[in-house]
Structure 1
Amino acid sequence: MMSNFLTNQQIASLVEAIQSAEDHSTGEIRVHIDSHTDDHHAKTAFEVFKELRMDKTTDRNAVLFHVNFEKKYLTIIGDIGIHEKVQQSFWDHLHDYITAEFAKGNYYKALKSAVLETGLELKKYFPVEGENPNQLPNEITFS
């Protein structure tokens, strides 16, 4: 699926960033690009979070970046396990950074940086001990 805001190459690179961010942690990161929702963005983001089974990880440490570029809308959802560790200030910082970069048209840079930064936090609080099965696919999803 093509996005008007990201090239296919950038989408592929984001998937690699997700894989890299998840390498040293049991956490899971997903990016969902929504081009249909007009309102109730947070509600839609939570529905997507559940549809993608992100609330089913072993350590409850999945993170979703739910983006609607057309509406300039971003919701970040961290499941209870990671949220308890990083607190709201971490999500607020990420949200402010991403939206500031989006305003400059730096869609790819913003998402990639946020994914990698999230990976560092996941690694800090949920390091891999032994096997690290990928609990969720790393692909970017669209609606």
Structure 2
Amino acid sequence: MLNKEELQRITESIQLAESHTSGEIRVCVARQCKGDPLEAAFKKFNQLKMDTTRLRNGVLIYVSPSDHKTAIIGDQGIHDAVNGGFWNEALEKMLSYFKKGEISEGICKGVEKVGELIKSRYPVSENDINELGDEVIMEE
């Protein structure tokens, strides 16, 4: 799916985005997504306990390259902060890269777009702690 360098680049994009915000971004890359990607993302969001951040400001970017499916889920604090079209804007940006076969670049652009949003709503605090890991979750 993604090679070591691509995974590292995605992790670095998460770290860069999170350096400007107290929000938490995670990326899950699934080998397959047979059903609705939003349902799969919601399930993974809960499995990863992303709803346990102090400010309820976690965001999961869920991607299944082989099935051409992706979804973005934000916890309650994030969801309340965004306008209706934001998730679609982020998804469209990602999909424009996916269509060219640039999966890792698309994911990085999605992370960047989500980071911009949560930075304005949840700026980094002086004693900010990273509540969730930054590594890409690979789902078999």
Percent identity between matched residues is 32
Matched, 1:35 2:31: yes
Cα shift at 1:40: 3.2
Q: Name the counterpart of 1:8.
A: 4
Aligned mates of 1:82, 1:39 — CA distance in 2: 25
- Report runs of 4+ in structure 1 exceeding 6 Å deviation: none
Aligned mates of 2:56, 2:121 — CA distance in 1: 12
Aligned residues: 139
Q: TM-score, structure 1 length as denominator?
A: 0.91
Q: TM-score, structure 2 length as denominator?
A: 0.93
For residues 97-112 of structure 1, what are the structure 2 equivalents within 5 Å? Answer: 97-112=93-108
CA contact (8 A) 2:59 2:73 kept: yes
Determine helix, strand or coil for the equivalent of 1:60.
Answer: coil
Q: What stretches of structure 2 of length at least 5 have no aligned partner?
A: none
Aligned mates of 1:42, 1:130 — CA distance in 2: 34
Q: What stretches of structure 1 of length at least 5 have no aligned partner?
A: none
For residues 116-127 of structure 1, what are the structure 2 equivalents within 5 Å? Answer: 116-127=112-123
For residues 29-108 of structure 1, what are the structure 2 equivalents within 5 Å? Answer: 29-108=25-104
